[in-house]
Structure 1
Amino acid sequence: MGFKVAVVGATGNVGREMLNILEERGFPVSEVVALASRRSQGTEVSFGDKTLKVKALDTYDFSDTDIAIMSAGGNISKEWSPKIGKQGCVVIDNSSAFRYDPEVPLIVPEVNPDAIEGFSKKNIIANPNCSTAQMVVALKPLHDVATIKRVVVATYQSVSGAGKEGMDELFTQTRAVFVADPVEAKKFTKRIAFNVIPHIDVFMEDGSTKEEWKMVAETKKMLDPKIKLTATCVRVPVFIGHSEAVNVEFEKPITADEARDILREAPGCLVIDKREDGGYITPIESAGEDATYISRIREDSTLDNALNMWIVSDNLRKGAALNAVQIAELLVERGLIQPKKKAA
């Protein structure tokens, strides 16, 4: 049984990663189609040992396609996802366009798999923001045991979260610093090389940025609307891998040892937490890996029933491409989707 899968935005960082992960995980495909804008038409991308020629999104007929995994940005998704869904193709959208739509499930398979049942209202399923995805993977098993009241998180987000242009800017600026060339900031609001920028996405009326607001809204939608959360999101000069310093206050008592044991058994989590030099994960070790890593688990002496944690994950994988493919796998595992074309 194979499914016809279209990857929209196949020439971008996340689109290419989606193609890699579909092949790596052996997703049951009958055919994979790479789609992008007209200016990318004819570009070649890899799918395993095959080379796919990119086709234009605006002339593609989705009527015989089973799943469209979208990574082409919010504006394109707003225009195309409803049209694709109406053709009977299930859209798994990596943008923020439909995350807060009450008729669109927002899914991290390790956290709220049952919510996927509601996808048929619009034939669209939303993938959460990269920084939220890894955090809720670690929070969910602890919430089930001790009930989270409040979360305070500071993120350290890699430049790949801003796409290829972000990675190019870090590389170009770093080289410019070493050869004493002028350093130009184009993608980011300030220089990113050898610097950190406490600003991701646009500013909102209350002084928070939209990235910070996303973490609040998405955690409430996927985990529990009663959880209070405050975030400070920071761009750091790292190519791949988001890190988060997280303080969690619980309703019930929970020790660091109990949390460590719970997280070691939790799906998608990998605890690396030795209280010694180097006994923790940094972004460079998470790159190319599927797990959400948790380190530095310790009790907060200033609050009752509170813990501190360090959470790290590859934002291009769990934060985007891997989670989208896992959603597709969940559709198949639960029998919620059947191939339109029967195998000959």
Structure 2
Amino acid sequence: MGYRVAIVGATGNVGREMMQILAEREFPVDEVAAVASGRSTGTEVEYGDTGKMLKCRNIEHFDFAGWDIALFAAGSGPAKEYAPKAAAAGCVVIDNSSLYRMDPDVPLIVPEVNPDAIDGYTKRNIIANPNCSTAQLVVALKPLHDFATIKRVVVSTYQSVSGAGKAGMDELFEQSRAIFVGDPVAPAKFTKQIAFNVIPHIDVFLEDGSTKEEWKMVVETKKILDPKIKLNATCVRVPVFVGHSEAINIEFENEISAEQAQEILREAPGIMLVDKREDEGYVTPVECAGDSATYISRVREDPTVDNGLTLWCVSDNLRKGAALNAVQIAELLGRRHLQKG
């Protein structure tokens, strides 16, 4: 016997990716509902590559009673209005928005990092999915933290335009085309030209000069991994369609060599170590797109601090940063609590 699963936001990039991954991983489903806003009602979406087409249902009239799991990929507005209704109807919500991440009664889960925290979902019947840049970061940090205890992290991100949704991807494409043919370039989704440029600004600015994206990385890492870790982030949007990259500098309490770190990372869940000190001996966003792994390359010791390491981390933000992590949470929930299939 399988689950009844609703995908809320089924017509968006992440919603479609959720359906793709559910099908790929053969998640045990008896029924899947594609749910979206009223303007998408009746639109057909494919369930993975199965050829099975689902007609979108209007979230305003959707009854969550009798459904086991709802994967929300519709943003904070719909999550605020409909996630509590779904949860109250007995459907466990796994929400991809930022709305519930820092709620003390809502577990924030990356299954490779803090699976035991999922047991707290019963307080609100809601589980939060972390920010895309946080998800790959904590997967990389967890096994190293277990071995040598992390004191401080400084991370610079190189985040793809798909993190801003379809509008971000369209803007990169249209601006690139315009530059090649000599047409004017006008920013719309982003604050400045994104084609052939980088923008050190993701989300709104806060009073201390950081952006909300940078703040998310700090507070979410502390909640998921360890509140004692000090972290500073600079988040940058780059002209890449899919795949976030991160340059991570780590200071540890205890001694750890680059060779030890490589051995640890090679065996860690969810990680693929590709670290040859030669041309093409590392992974870039182009290679990670469409893959489920978090890739680590360029592991080396930092001679400027005691017990310091620097590494390069790349992951498909639509998968591990969003859809894949949500499906992995659903799998974990099934194993530990729902126990069907």
- Paired position in structure 2 for 1:34: 34
SS in 1 for 2:93: strand
Match of 1:126 among 125, 128, 131: 128
Q: Which amino acid aligns with 1:164?
A: K
SS in 2 for 1:79: helix
SS in 2 for 1:261: helix
Match of 2:278 among 265, 273, 276: 276
**d(CA) in 1 for partners of 2:13, 2:300:** 35
Alignment of 1:160-239 (within 5 A): 160-239=162-241
**d(CA) in 1 for partners of 2:69, 2:121:** 12
- Paired position in structure 1 for 2:140: 138
- Paired position in structure 2 for 1:17: 17
Unpaired segments ≥5 residues, structure 1 = none
**d(CA) in 2 for partners of 1:147, 1:75:** 38
**d(CA) in 1 for partners of 2:79, 2:311:** 34
Dislocated runs of 4+, deviation >3 Å:
none
**d(CA) in 1 for partners of 2:225, 2:157:** 19
**d(CA) in 1 for partners of 2:62, 2:317:** 29
1:314 is aligned to 2:311 = no
1:32 Cα offset (Å): 0.4
| Aligned residues between the structures | 339
Taking structure 2 as the reference length, the TM-score comes to 0.99
SS in 2 for 1:220: helix
SS in 2 for 1:320: helix
1:107 is aligned to 2:104 = no
1:144 Cα offset (Å): 0.3
Unpaired segments ≥5 residues, structure 2 = none
SS in 2 for 1:185: coil
Q: Which amino acid aligns with 2:135?
A: A
- Paired position in structure 2 for 1:89: 91
**d(CA) in 2 for partners of 1:44, 1:183:** 34
- Paired position in structure 2 for 1:305: 307
**d(CA) in 1 for partners of 2:335, 2:268:** 20
| Sequence identity percentage | 71
**CA displacement, residues 121-168 of structure 1 (integer Å, 9 cap, x when unaligned):** 000000000000001001000000000000000000000000000000
SS in 2 for 1:15: helix
SS in 2 for 1:170: helix
1:338 Cα offset (Å): 5.0
**CA displacement, residues 6-39 of structure 1 (integer Å, 9 cap, x when unaligned):** 0000000000000000000000000000000000
**d(CA) in 2 for partners of 1:338, 1:27:** 13
**d(CA) in 1 for partners of 2:142, 2:123:** 26
1:75 Cα offset (Å): 1.4
